[in-house]
Structure 1
Amino acid sequence: MKKQRLLGFSLALNAVLIATFLIFGFIYRDKIAQRFVRMKGNPTIVMYGNSITAQGKWVELLGRTDVMNNALPGQATYHFLQLIRSHVIDLHPKVCFIKGGINDITVGVSQEKIQANFRTMLEMLMQNGITPVVTLTVYEQHDPSSKREVDALNAFLVSFCTQNHITSIDLNQYISDSTGLRAEYAVDKTHLNAKAYEIWAREISRVLKEKGI
């Protein structure tokens, strides 16, 4: 009888451990996948940007294990430019999806500096044989001043991309309205929720398919 109780306890403990392992793996699956991508090296895709990009679970969203999330939460385009060689270029990806600018706008960086940083980064990517794809800056919620700055930056990005045959993704047409980022796609004034990331991932997948990547 004692042996049966011990066996039952052992089986129950094993079941709990297995369930815990599966739950842990499910919750942290994207982080685990990202570690695998880093160990493997040579990602096909690098995601580069601020916290909005960093919070995307890109391995899961895109359904592929050759995508590295090297975004820099809380950083501005100046920091992107300083780190683009180590975080993107030296990894030799085929394509880099780049998005940023809202942190610059929040702290009052001039359009001239933001645009110059973007111009330099995009030129560096192209010079190193990496295909850049620009996700235009997403509006914040109910902030007319920020919206005007975002419009000015996006107008520059669209123009530069058109002149240099760079693909751009405009999320605002799907997740924003005349007042800015729509509440149904936001977790706060600036950041996106899961519904917004699904739309973004859909647009990225479309671009990848078009480019045969």
Structure 2
Amino acid sequence: MSKQTWLIVSLALNAVLIAAFFLFGYIYRDKIAQRFVQMKGNPTIVMYGNSITAQGKWVELLGRTDVMNNGLPGLTTYHFLKLIRSHVIDLHPKVCFIKGGINDITVGVAQERIQANFKTMLEMLVQDGITPVVTLTVYEQNDPSSKKEVDALNAFLVSFCTQNNISYIDLNHYISNATGLRAEYAVDKTHLNTKAYEIWAREISRVLEEKGI
């Protein structure tokens, strides 16, 4: 093989490697940004909740690099309560967007326990000078039993937040109907698609603007 051919092959390989590098960076840009936030420390915003929170690309969605995604897939409010100090409070954010409850409902945790866990977490955040913002529990698709439990939990959350001057976001107003989560905003029975996350991010940005954060 001639020198000219080797040069062409070498340039082609370099181009492929560079393209692969940028493609990798684009695909994993939110994870890379999250690593940067973790290294920098002291996030302004912590997103705390289950897999629905964890799957959000919050740096990209909110357009800021001071937001840490500490979603915990598959866990219940019991686990959130046990881990809230290390995953939120010890990070000293200004605001914590907290969401959960559907996993509790799925495994049959009593309303009284779910509500007590939320109450304790919200009180802990306030006591430590962190502004909590509750995202109400989102309905599942076509599950009347689950929807009834979600309604009961959300009624408690709205009441508690109203009494304690805590902001909350009601995604169901935008992405659900009388039967539950609308198919156009879902990837499965429970989880959200990109369109739903964009609506959620819009509501988060609205709350942040109201609070001057």
TM-score (norm 1): 0.99
**Could you say which residue in structure 1 is the equivalent of 2:212?**
212
**Could you say which residue in structure 2 is the equivalent of 1:133?**
133
Q: Give yes or no for the alignment of 1:44 onto 2:44.
A: yes
**Could you say which residue in structure 1 is the equivalent of 2:89?**
89
**Could you say which residue in structure 2 is the equivalent of 1:177?**
177
> Which letter does structure 2 place at the counterpart of 1:61?
L
Q: Which runs of 5+ in 2 are unaligned?
A: none
> Which letter does structure 2 place at the counterpart of 1:21?
F
1:179-202 deviation digits (Å, cap 9, x = unpaired)? 000000001110001110000000
Q: Take 2:164 and 2:7, find their aligned partners in 1: how far apart are those partners?
A: 69
**Could you say which residue in structure 1 is the equivalent of 2:25?**
25
> Which letter does structure 2 place at the counterpart of 1:195?
K
> Which letter does structure 2 place at the counterpart of 1:207?
V
1:74-117 deviation digits (Å, cap 9, x = unpaired)? 00000000000000000000000000000000111011000000
**Could you say which residue in structure 2 is the equivalent of 1:143?**
143
Q: Report deviation, 1:6.
A: 1.5
How many residue pairs get aligned? The number is 213
Could you say what secondary structure the match of 1:192 adopts?
coil
Could you say what secondary structure the match of 1:134 adopts?
strand
1:145-196 deviation digits (Å, cap 9, x = unpaired)? 1101000000000000001100000000000000000000001110001110
> Which letter does structure 1 place at the counterpart of 2:156?
F
Q: Take 2:22 and 2:206, find their aligned partners in 1: how far apart are those partners?
A: 32
Share of identical aligned residues, percent? 86
- Runs of 4 or more, structure 1, over 6 Å off, are none
> Which letter does structure 1 place at the counterpart of 2:179?
T
Q: Report deviation, 1:21.
A: 0.3
